[in-house]
């Protein structure tokens, strides 16, 4: 499959064109310069052909962060087969735009000049000055008004190989393990993603909140496909401003689609209330979980103290394994893949009905069900009705009288008999003829 990169300065409409080609709102768009920072990748369909779209950060000079964004964008241009260089048609043709365009032409790629924000015929009269770029492949368009975009699509289609018309089978959801990397700002999420992939795919900077739009990367480990999503770092709600509100919303959307969350905590600093709130998002979305203590340079004999403090603070993630790493030096990072596969297998585990009922019956014999106010409470049988995470229905005579402590006892019994490390286990109490499930669940 060919790759198409959209290159240009900040605020020329690259992410808007990316969304238009993708036919959905995926990349975050904003008037704020530097909204797109990492390279965003998606597969788009252009008639009967598929192309991988690469949305890049704006080419700009300035601080250390903007320099890294610029470097990453040029790297992406080298990777692409087709390059769309975008400029803002409402302004004058600029020397540095022409210089960059000439550099792209020297790469030997298919390169087109896209003059955006030509919203009407009067504005389009300004296109003559862009003939200085020395190319016949010029497309004056307006992404926001969908004006003359079809001509550009026809050009892109012509650049794609005839052999690309074959349909590329998408990754089946059941085959693809979706991982969200979450945590507050500057705990090392992007560094961890780069360490896992073995290359700098996500921009790392000392600037807090470098990642804004979630960046996803697909890799393979032991013949299993894994999609990592590096989400925006979460701040205290009072400090979230402007575009970061969209980033937080997008992070929450990603968590709704994820299987497993890697909660990254800064081992070099005390845990905070914000860490606890972020961890609560994992609990809210009923995800598998791995807790990663990054920046680990404490002696091993202190691990037990840190683990005790963590378990005390994050009681609702009692099922999540804890590991220590250094994303900067790659210490223990490779072990994360084995954890992911094990947690995912547990997250999707189906217990044979016979074994499940044997375990429940054994638990009941060991500790009888409480009978509130002398009313007999009975569990007739249990059945697993779903996975991701494992969900078990208890068919009972009085489902509302199942005490939360007994529910917790059954959960612990299941964990003693089956490997549910890294995943919640949910119980639903139902009457024999009950059409809807009890809202209470155990983990």
Output phi, psi for 82, to 5 deg.
Answer: -125, 135
**176, 216 contact by CB (below 8 A):** no
Residues 285, 381 share a domain: no
pLDDT single digits (tens) 191-211: 898 899 887 664 444 444 444
Higher pLDDT, 142 or 241: 142
The CATH number that applies at residue 202 is 3.40.50.300
Structure tokens that stand for 252 in this block: 């929450």
Average pLDDT over residues 336-351: 96
Range of the domain at 39: 2-165
DSSP 8-class letter at 230: E
Query: Of 303, 320, 347, which residue sits at a domain end?
Result: 347
pLDDT for 171 equals 41
Query: Of 331, 347, 363, which residue sits at a domain end?
Result: 347
Burial class of 308 by CB neighbour count within 10 A (0 to 12, 13 to 18, 19+)? exposed
Residues 202, 157 share a domain: no
With cut-offs at 50, 70 and 90, classify the pLDDT of residue 1: confident
Gap between the Cα atoms of 365 and 252, Å rounded: 43
Buried b (16+ CB within 10 A) or exposed e, 189-205: bbbbbbbbeeebbbbbb
Residues 427, 315 share a domain: no
Supply the Cα-derived Rg of the chain in whole angstroms: 26
Residues 387, 293 share a domain: no
pLDDT at 352 over 70: yes
pLDDT for 248 equals 62
Residue 30 resides in a domain: yes
Residue 32 resides in a domain: yes
With cut-offs at 50, 70 and 90, classify the pLDDT of residue 31: very low
pLDDT for 70 equals 67
Question: Model's pTM, two decimal places?
Answer: 0.66
Residues 95, 201 share a domain: no
- The DSSP-derived string for 367-406 is SPPP-GGG----EEEEEEEETTTTEEEEEES-GGG--HHH
How far are the Cα atoms of 6, 30, 41 from residue 53, in angstroms, in the given order? Answer: 8, 19, 6
Residue 439 resides in a domain: no
Average pLDDT over residues 271-293: 93
Average pLDDT over residues 182-186: 86
Higher pLDDT, 96 or 405: 405
pLDDT for 96 equals 82
Residue 214 resides in a domain: yes
Gap between the Cα atoms of 376 and 169, Å rounded: 55
Burial class of 304 by CB neighbour count within 10 A (0 to 12, 13 to 18, 19+)? exposed
pLDDT for 41 equals 83
pLDDT at 10 over 50: yes
Torsion of CA 361, 363, 367, 371, to 10 degrees: -50
pLDDT for 28 equals 43
Gap between the Cα atoms of 70 and 8, Å rounded: 10
With cut-offs at 50, 70 and 90, classify the pLDDT of residue 280: very high
Residues 197, 159 share a domain: no
Average pLDDT over residues 375-395: 93
DSSP 8-class letter at 223: T
Average pLDDT over residues 351-373: 93
Residue 411 resides in a domain: yes
Q: Helix, strand, coil: what percent of the chain each, to 5?
A: 40, 25, 40
Average pLDDT over residues 252-275: 90
With cut-offs at 50, 70 and 90, classify the pLDDT of residue 251: confident
With cut-offs at 50, 70 and 90, classify the pLDDT of residue 22: confident
- Token look-up 């990072």 returns 333
What ranges in 81-141 are assigned the alpha helix state H?
95-105, 121-124
**179, 196 contact by CB (below 8 A):** no
Gap between the Cα atoms of 3 and 95, Å rounded: 27
Q: What is the mean pLDDT of the chain?
A: 82
pLDDT single digits (tens) 53-99: 988 876 765 545 445 666 777 888 888 999 999 999 887 777 888 88
pLDDT at 27 over 60: no
Residues 105, 52 share a domain: yes
Residue 396 resides in a domain: yes
pLDDT for 441 equals 54
Residues 137, 160 share a domain: yes
pLDDT for 218 equals 85
pLDDT for 35 equals 43
Residue 234 resides in a domain: yes
DSSP 8-class letter at 286: T
**287, 261 contact by CB (below 8 A):** yes
pLDDT single digits (tens) 226-238: 998 877 656 555 5
Residues 127, 244 share a domain: no
Residue 170 resides in a domain: no
DSSP 8-class letter at 242: T
CA quadruple 129, 135, 141, 143: dihedral positive or negative? Answer: negative
Query: Of 323, 347, 371, which residue sits at a domain end?
Result: 347
Least confident of 118-127, 199-208, 215-224, 416-425: 199-208
Residues 81, 26 share a domain: yes
C-beta atoms surrounding 80 within 10 Å = 24
DSSP 8-class letter at 326: B
pLDDT for 258 equals 93
Residues 51, 195 share a domain: no
**425, 442 contact by CB (below 8 A):** yes
Output phi, psi for 270, to 5 deg.
Answer: -65, 150
Residues 49, 157 share a domain: yes
The CATH number that applies at residue 386 is 3.30.300.20
Whether omega for the bond prior to residue 357 falls within 30 degrees of 0, making it cis, is: no
Least confident of 131-140, 386-395, 408-417: 131-140
Q: How many domains, the chain? A: 3
């Amino acid at each position: 499959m060919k790759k198409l990169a959209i290159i240009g300065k900040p605020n020329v409409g690259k992410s808007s064109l990316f969304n238009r080609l993708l036919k959905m709102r995926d990349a975050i768009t904003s008037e704020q310069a530097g909204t797109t920072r990492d390279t965003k990748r998606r597969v788009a369909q252009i008639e009967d052909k598929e192309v991988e779209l690469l949305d890049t950060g704006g080419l700009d000079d300035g601080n250390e962060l903007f320099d890294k964004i610029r470097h990453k964008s040029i790297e992406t241009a080298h990777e692409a087969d087709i390059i769309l260089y975008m400029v803002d048609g409402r302004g004058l043709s600029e020397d540095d735009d022409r210089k960059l365009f000439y550099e792209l032409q020297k790469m030997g790629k298919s390169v087109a000049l896209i003059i955006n924000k030509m919203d009407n015929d009067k504005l389009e009269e300004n296109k003559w000055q862009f003939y200085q770029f020395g190319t016949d492949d010029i497309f004056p368009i307006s992404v926001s008004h969908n004006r003359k975009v079809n001509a550009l699509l026809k050009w892109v289609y012509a650049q794609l190989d005839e052999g690309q018309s074959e349909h590329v089978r998408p990754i089946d959801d059941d085959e693809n393990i979706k991982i969200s990397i979450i945590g507050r700002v500057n705990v090392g999420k992007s560094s961890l993603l780069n360490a896992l992939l073995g290359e700098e795919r996500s921009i790392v900077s000392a600037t807090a909140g470098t990642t804004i739009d979630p960046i996803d990367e697909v890799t393979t480990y032991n013949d299993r496909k894994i999609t990592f999503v590096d989400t925006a770092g979460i701040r205290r709600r009072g400090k979230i401003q402007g575009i970061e509100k969209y980033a937080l919303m997008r992070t929450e959307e990603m968590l709704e689609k994820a299987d497993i969350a890697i909660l990254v905590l800064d081992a070099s600093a005390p845990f905070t209330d914000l860490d606890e709130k972020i961890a609560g998002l994992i609990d809210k979305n009923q995800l598998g979980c791995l807790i990663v203590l990054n920046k680990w340079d404490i002696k091993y004999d202190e691990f037990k103290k840190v683990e005790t403090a963590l378990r005390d603070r994050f009681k609702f993630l009692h099922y999540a394994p804890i590991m220590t790493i250094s994303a900067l030096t790659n210490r223990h990072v490779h072990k994360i893949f084995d954890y992911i596969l094990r947690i995912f297998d547990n997250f999707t585990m189906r217990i044979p009905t016979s074994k499940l009922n044997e375990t429940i019956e054994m638990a009941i014999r060991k500790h009888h069900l409480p009978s509130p106010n002398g009313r007999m409470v009975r569990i007739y049988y249990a059945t697993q009705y779903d996975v991701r995470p494992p969900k078990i229905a208890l068919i009972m005579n009085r489902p509302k009288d199942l005490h939360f402590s007994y529910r917790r006892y059954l959960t612990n019994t299941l964990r003693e008999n089956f490997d549910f490390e890294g995943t919640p286990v949910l119980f639903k109490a139902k009457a024999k003829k009950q059409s809807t499930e009890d809202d209470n669940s155990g983990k």
